Amino acid sequence: MKIHLKIWRQKNSETPGKMVDYTLDEISPEISFLEMLDILNEDLLKKGEEPVAFDHDCREGICGMCSLYINGRSHGTEQGITACQLHLRSFKEDDTIYVEPWRAQPFPVIKDLIVDRSAFDRIIQAGGYISVNTGSAPDANAIPISREVAKEAFEAADCIGCGACVAACKNASAMLFVAAKVSHLALLPQGQVEKQSRVEKMVAQMDKEGFGACTNTGACSYECPKNISLSHIARLNREYLTAKLASKHLS
Amino acid sequence: MTLDAKIPNGFLAEKWTQHQFNLKLINPANKRKYDIIVVGTGLAGASAAATLAELGYNVKVFCFQDSARRAHSVAAQGGINAAKNYQNDGDSIFRLFYDTIKGGDFRAREADVYRLAEISNNIIDQAVAQGVPFAREYGGLLDNHSFGGAQVSRTFYAKGQTGQQLLIGTYSALSRQIANGKVKMFPRTEMLEVVTIDGKARGIVTRNLVTGAIESHNAHAVLLGTGGYGNIYFLSTNCMGANVTAAWQAHKKGAFFANPSFTQIHPTCIPVHDRHQSKLTLMSESLRNDGRVWVPKNREDKRHPNDIPENERDYFLERKYPSFGNLVPRDVASRSVKQVCDQGYGVGQTGLAVYLDFGKAIKRRGMDAIKHSYGNLFQIYEKITNENAYEMPMKIYPAVHYTMGGLWVDYNLMTTVPGLYALGEANFSDHGGNRLGASGLMQALADGYFILPRTIADYLATLPYDKISTEHSAFKEAEDNAKNRINQLLALKGNKTVDEFHKELGLIMWNHCGMSRSEASLKTAKEKIKVLEEEFWENLSMVGSNEELNQTLEKALRVADFLEMSQLMVTDASHRKESCGSHFREESQTEEGEAKRDDENFTYVAAWEYQGKNKSEVLHKEALTFENVKLTQRSYK
């Protein structure tokens, strides 16, 4: 099939970028979207031009490295997948496809389609864990956890930290990302001890990184490759409110 | 140099306990005087880094990804083994040890494997305490399933995303230590050189993947948790960035490479569909608990699988191995699949696939139960192939998955370079000739959480606290080496891309040093790689500069090392004239075509010593002795 591409090219964080046109002919609809970019890059290299830089690693939808904004949507228009799981069979002959990096102030562009998502790491560092040193754990079956709770915690822990939620949000809010972690740990008995300080610290860091406010539009959850539910944001709000009411750090 | 594995004396079950008592300790107040470098943030690297920081050491951690959370342990699907015997089905530490030794075809050390089985239980406790949401039964206790090669249910799992959930555990432990200031994290940074001073590992040289800066980092010890080198085959289930550079550069600085040709080919992967394919996707082998593998009895049968009646299907694993059936270990399953396809029974467009059928399991267990067990795997399958495996059988074919070979380490996980350690898939230690399912996660976490943090103190206690400045000539020399390699590559203005070279290398390795090997095929491989390597250093087409984010340069550096490493793999495969584990040597088979091991001549670990570019490596043999198990030919019939 034949497709036309408009791809964001930007040499580095200091240089302004622009959309550049490319056309690919005679490519198989069975290949993945990233394999299509591989083909484009091979063509560019053959011509002595710089290939398009993009983040990718596992190519099976679990590492969260790929971060392409395709036709105005995080990871493309299909639901519940990452860009690496998108195949060209989702497009039509002669389609024009727009490929951009995540657009959000806290995710500055490093080069072409690659952005800096270290803000997410700093939010986790602020409190997204249970403080348990190696070796001090009790027997794994000491605390029974109901199947339902384990399942719901798993569904929150499913987050791959790709940033699609932020890219999809008009306010570049990171609420779904933060909510997934807060919810995962708040649901489990092991997470109870630190639950108050955890939510306070994580939300404070989220604000510090410059992510926008949540208006419950739901684009984040809709675009999330792991279908993380908005109900986790509700739980985050509840946890945050409860924490603040009892907080020692009223500000 | 004679290899000393430093295996403790005493009874098998007491070795580790006794050894821990004999190891030197470091006073808590003195731990902060030591700096440790950890390369790689998968389960092994991240768990070691977090634990060492908890103990009080200063840790610097490096990964090439943009975040520590993305290391490829994240993609492990099936589960993690432990000898908890929660299912009351006769499991024990000794049984897990025995299964692992036997599954590895008696090419691993008894003492190391026993310790692994012993520690397995602590890992599950640790992970649960961190909030890893393993699957549970209705009563709220942990659920287990049985997994390839085991007759007990000892595998803990979190849907088909066990690796991801465990990695989030190690990543959060690591994040906590970053926040505490005990770990300094360097993402998007690749290690290019190990620095040795007076024969000891004292640091590394790295390249910042964003700015291109070549930098030196000093430490009292260096840990490599850098994974395997399956990507040498180009197509594999590894992530795109997985590479051998850290291990290979360590090898060039004196770390012996053990059993480099031991590569695991996983039976249940989605078949290759296109020549532009960039990677292969694994379908967890837990699917073989319920899925039945078959091909049509008639070679010409082009009917839709659902239209082929029972009596015209050949369930060849069940036929050939009645007692294990579809649950035979990975190497046996892979070879059988290849065999039927080579004989022309394969299905799909390429004929390089067999069916994995859930029809009967859905009838027996019900649709809901199958969805509960494998829902996300069926989803992955559909996303890639556009086929619904609830309605028609999956198509699968073997793919390169894991490398049992790796840097040689002693019982303390130290390589032959003092102060340089290798953990997880990067070392060779526990899986012998073949790794059992759900053992990779177990080993990575045993090494990182429980073994290394204990054994490293014994070495550090012998060192003075003094730091060696990165101005030392050894650092400057290593930096120059790295820079020269980069400049040499960037000067190449040929007309073949790095991917083209990588694909060619992969094909040579797959065809001649893959699932089965022979004297002749290995000779061909050797000659072809030599020619390809020469062409690489003349005809590679490079663009861009070092002082920027340059993915072409990143790949070129990795492929240059793959080209060297592949030759050692071929050398090792040639010298091991027996079939064992995943290493199937055509000249060494039984009349029925099964692998034939040669215990008389090959019961040893082959550890190779680098001698310099284009010089033959020297083979050192570490004899393996078995006092607690009897060597048997594996039979799954």
The model's pLDDT over A125-139, given as tens digits with 9 standing for 90+, comes to 999 999 999 999 999
Using 50, 70 and 90 to split pLDDT, how confident is the model at B312?
very high
Distance from CA of B344 to the nearest CA of A (A): 25
Q: Which of residues 44-63 of A touch B (CB under 8 A)?
A: 45-46, 48-51, 53, 55-63
| Mean pLDDT for chain A overall | 96
Instruction: Find the mean pLDDT for residues B602-614.
Output: 97
Distance from CA of A251 to the nearest CA of B (A): 22
The number of folded domains in chain B is 2
> Which architecture, in CATH terms, is A118-245?
Orthogonal Bundle (1.10)
Query: What does the pLDDT read at residue B376?
Result: 81
Share of chain A above pLDDT 90, in %: 97
Cα–Cα distances in Å, from B169 out to A181, B42, B186, B445? 12, 11, 19, 11
DSSP secondary structure code for residue B222 in this structure: E
Taking an 8 Å cut-off on Cβ atoms, the answer to whether B161 and A62 are in contact is yes
CB B191 within 8 A of CB B184: no
Query: What does the pLDDT read at residue B356?
Result: 97
Given a cut of 80, whether residue A228 has pLDDT beyond it is: yes
Which chain B residue's Cα is nearest to A59?
Answer: B239
Taking an 8 Å cut-off on Cβ atoms, the answer to whether A51 and B552 are in contact is yes
Q: Across B541-602, where does the E strand assignment appear?
A: 584-585
The model's pLDDT over B46-63, given as tens digits with 9 standing for 90+, comes to 999 999 999 999 999 999
Query: What does the pLDDT read at residue A250?
Result: 56
Given a cut of 70, whether residue A251 has pLDDT beyond it is: no
Using 50, 70 and 90 to split pLDDT, how confident is the model at B388?
very high
- List all residues 6 or more positions away from A134 whose beta carbon is below 8 Å from its beta carbon: B47, B50, B51, B54, B126, B173, B449, B450, B453
Question: Do both B388 and B499 map to the same domain?
Answer: no
ipTM for this model = 0.98
Query: How many residue pairs from chains A and B have C-beta atoms closer than 8 A?
Result: 217
Nearest to A65 among B65, B131, B142 (CB): B65
Question: Do both B393 and B274 map to the same domain?
Answer: yes
Instruction: Find the mean pLDDT for residues B81-92.
Output: 97
Instruction: Find the mean pLDDT for residues A36-58.
Output: 97
Given a cut of 80, whether residue B323 has pLDDT beyond it is: yes
| Mean pLDDT for chain B overall | 96
- The Cα B188–Cα B62 span in angstroms is 8
Nearest to B133 among A39, A125, A154 (CB): A154
Does residue B326 belong to any structural domain of this protein?
A: yes
Query: What does the pLDDT read at residue A249?
Result: 65
CATH of A3-111, picked from 3.10.20.30, 3.90.550.10, 3.40.50.300, 1.10.3720.10, is: 3.10.20.30
Given a cut of 60, whether residue B394 has pLDDT beyond it is: yes
Residue B236 has, within 13 A of its CA and on its CB side, a CA count of 31
Instruction: Find the mean pLDDT for residues B463-488.
Output: 97
Does residue B25 belong to any structural domain of this protein?
A: no
Which residues constitute the domain of residue B340? 266-400
Which chain A residue's Cα is nearest to B165?
Answer: A157
- The Cα B341–Cα B336 span in angstroms is 9
Query: What does the pLDDT read at residue B159?
Result: 87
Report the candidate in A240, A135, A236, A141 with the shortest Cα–Cα distance to residue B173: A135
Given a cut of 80, whether residue B636 has pLDDT beyond it is: no
Question: Structural domain boundaries of chain A?
Answer: 3-111, 118-245
Taking an 8 Å cut-off on Cβ atoms, the answer to whether A125 and B210 are in contact is no
Q: Which of B201-205, B374-378, B470-474 has the lowest mean pLDDT?
A: B374-378
* Final residue of a structural domain among B400, B416, B442: B400
Q: Which of A112-116, B71-75, B376-380, B407-411 has the lowest mean pLDDT?
A: B376-380
Q: Which of A162-171, B14-23, B247-256, B588-597 has the lowest mean pLDDT?
A: B588-597
Instruction: Find the mean pLDDT for residues B409-431.
Output: 97
* A151 contact residues in B (CB cutoff 8 A): 133
Distance from CA of B105 to the nearest CA of A (A): 30
The model's pLDDT over B259-301, given as tens digits with 9 standing for 90+, comes to 999 999 999 999 998 889 999 999 888 899 899 999 999 998 9
CATH number at residue B517: 1.20.58.100
Taking an 8 Å cut-off on Cβ atoms, the answer to whether B136 and A146 are in contact is yes
* Final residue of a structural domain among B400, B419, B439: B400
Catalytic residues of B: 330
CATH number at residue B336: 3.90.700.10
Which chain B residue's Cα is nearest to A121?
Answer: B67
Given a cut of 90, whether residue B225 has pLDDT beyond it is: yes
The model's pLDDT over B110-169, given as tens digits with 9 standing for 90+, comes to 999 999 999 999 999 999 999 999 999 999 999 998 886 688 999 999 988 999 999 999
Distance from CA of B61 to the nearest CA of A (A): 14
Coil, strand or helix at B302: coil
- List all residues 6 or more positions away from B463 whose beta carbon is below 8 Å from its beta carbon: B34, B200, B220, B419
Question: Do both B506 and B396 map to the same domain?
Answer: no
Given a cut of 60, whether residue A234 has pLDDT beyond it is: yes
Using 50, 70 and 90 to split pLDDT, how confident is the model at B24?
very high
List the structure tokens of B315.
């369930």
